[in-house]
Amino acid sequence: MTGSDGRPVLILGEPGGLGDALARKLADRGIPARRADPRTDAEARDLLLERPLRAVAVVAHDDVLALRLALLCEHLLPGLPLWTTLFDRTIIHQLQEIVPEVNVVRSAEHVAVQLAEHCCELAGPPRPRWRQGVRVVDDALRLLLAASAGLIALLVAQTAISMAQLHESLVDGIFFSTRMLATVADAPGADAAPAWYKVFSTVASVLAVVLIAVFTAAVVRRLSRRRLTSILGRRRAPRSGHALLIGFGQVGFRLAQALREQGFSVIAVERDPDSPCVRLAPGAGIPLALGRGDDREVLERAGVRSCAVVAAVTSDDLMNVAVGLAVKELAPEAPLVLRLGDGEVARETDSLLHLGRVVDVHELASTRLAEEIAAAARSTAARAGSAQSYGNATSTT
């Protein structure tokens, strides 16, 4: 029916994944498809001009690559139906300004919405934010708070024994204890104090020097890199009742936004500090921890035992399975959603490991994209049939 004229849909992009799933979906609908991964513009040009095409679908993870291929297709074959997957809103806007007819497929948003529905179903109603507490995820912030707590404890202890032994007022006790811990000067009368007082004050001063050094190092470390979490404000990491997202790529970022729209607090974990979405986290107010999602310490720090749901949504299927195994080892009762893109891996994981809710994201995205292409093909065929009927009627007349 739709594939009777023999013209294929050319699918450009990295091998495997969404491109292969789309080719299978189109074949099920009777539309021939051809997969290709051009390495150069010349190779892409040859593919586009080699034979007549029904449409072109660009399904690349890299927005820059997708933009380049889409522009090349429009330049060589203007007017040919064109679909492309894109994430960055600025690139989408610029492409639509240049090529208004392009069909932009925001597959990450579509998949994130589906994943959010599964997460909300498993997690139940969101907990009020004021009941979730505060979790310290960042190492530098943990050091900063620990050193601050140690210094305050030393100051309180030194002030208490100074008031008791040297009979100072509260204000004088705090003033001279602070100077003593900072090794600036002793308190008046300290020379005549008992030996235990002098020993305690000496040990307290040494500990204060160490804690001040740790505090300074933590401040420098905190200020010298992106601050991805805080103890106040929108980037405050919740202690419990949150959604724990492992993987903060295009899908993870959109999923975090979708869950927050549903009222859930989130903590995201990403192993690549240079990921484009990591730079977006502070502006979006999403608390983020850097580390491997299958690492037990990272999961513990992010609150895997007290979260409402865990979503493993990295772009690596095997990593998501590893995350699922680690989560089940640490928190067997934690609801778990796994993003998998290979249909075989998804089926095997679901039938053999029973880790949680398995979502085949390539199945979701390819189904939607194939439906759009098939609908456009039917519309084109209908218009061609109408034109031919009109032409035959005119000739007869």
pLDDT tens for 312-366 read 999 888 888 889 999 999 999 999 999 886 555 555 555 545 677 888 888 888 8
The token pair that represents 119 in the structure block? 């997460």
Give the model confidence (pLDDT) of 223-262 as tens digits. 887 888 888 888 888 999 999 999 998 889 999 999 999 9
Residue in this structure with the two tokens 């492992």, named with its chain if needed: 246
In-domain check, residue 3: no
> How far is residue 56 CA from its own chain's centroid?
29
Question: Which phi and psi angles does 293 have, rounded to 5°?
Answer: -70, -15
* Shared-domain flag, residues 127 and 241: yes
Q: For position 315, what pLDDT does the model report?
A: 84
Q: Which of 4-13, 272-281, 293-302 has the lowest mean pLDDT?
A: 4-13
Number of domains in the chain: 3
Torsion of CA 149, 154, 157, 163, to 10 degrees: -120
Q: For position 240, what pLDDT does the model report?
A: 92
* Shared-domain flag, residues 50 and 86: yes
| Cβ 119 vs Cβ 337: under 8 Å | yes
Q: For position 122, what pLDDT does the model report?
A: 92
Give the model confidence (pLDDT) of 123-136 as tens digits. 989 888 878 888 88
Nearest to 158 by CA among 144, 147, 172: 172
Which of 194, 223, 252 is where one domain is finished?
A: 223
What pTM value is reported for the model? 0.77
- In the predicted structure, residue 383 carries a pLDDT above the cut 60: no
- In the predicted structure, residue 389 carries a pLDDT above the cut 60: no
* Percent with pLDDT over 70 in the chain: 90
Q: For position 252, what pLDDT does the model report?
A: 93
| CATH code assigned at 344 | 3.40.50.720
* Shared-domain flag, residues 260 and 346: yes
* Shared-domain flag, residues 344 and 389: no
The token pair that represents 270 in the structure block? 């990403």
Report d(CA 201, CA 385) in Å as an integer: 96
Question: Which phi and psi angles does 188 have, rounded to 5°?
Answer: -60, 135
* Shared-domain flag, residues 15 and 127: no
In-domain check, residue 1: no
* Shared-domain flag, residues 90 and 54: yes
Which of 166, 188, 223 is where one domain is finished?
A: 223
Residue in this structure with the two tokens 């934010």, named with its chain if needed: 129
Report d(CA 197, CA 342) in Å as an integer: 69
| Cβ 320 vs Cβ 338: under 8 Å | yes
DSSP string, 298-317: HHHHTTTTT-SEEEE--S-H
Give the model confidence (pLDDT) of 146-190 as tens digits. 999 999 999 999 999 989 888 888 998 898 888 888 877 777 877
* Shared-domain flag, residues 117 and 246: yes
* Shared-domain flag, residues 251 and 341: yes
Domain containing 216 equals 139-223
Q: Collect contacts of 392-396 with beta carbons under 8 A, ≥24 apart.
A: none
* Shared-domain flag, residues 85 and 152: no
Which of 223, 256, 278 is where one domain is finished?
A: 223
Report d(CA 83, CA 336) in Å as an integer: 33
Q: For position 305, what pLDDT does the model report?
A: 93
Strand partners, 310: 244, 336
Q: For position 57, what pLDDT does the model report?
A: 92
Compute the mean pLDDT over every residue in the chain, rounded to the nearest whole number: 85
| CATH code assigned at 379 | 3.40.50.280
* Shared-domain flag, residues 156 and 91: no
| Cβ 71 vs Cβ 94: under 8 Å | no
Cβ density class 349-362: b for 16+ within 10 Å, e for less: bbeeeebbbbbbbb
In-domain check, residue 31: yes
In-domain check, residue 4: no
CA Rg value for the chain: 30
* Shared-domain flag, residues 250 and 202: no
* Shared-domain flag, residues 213 and 267: no
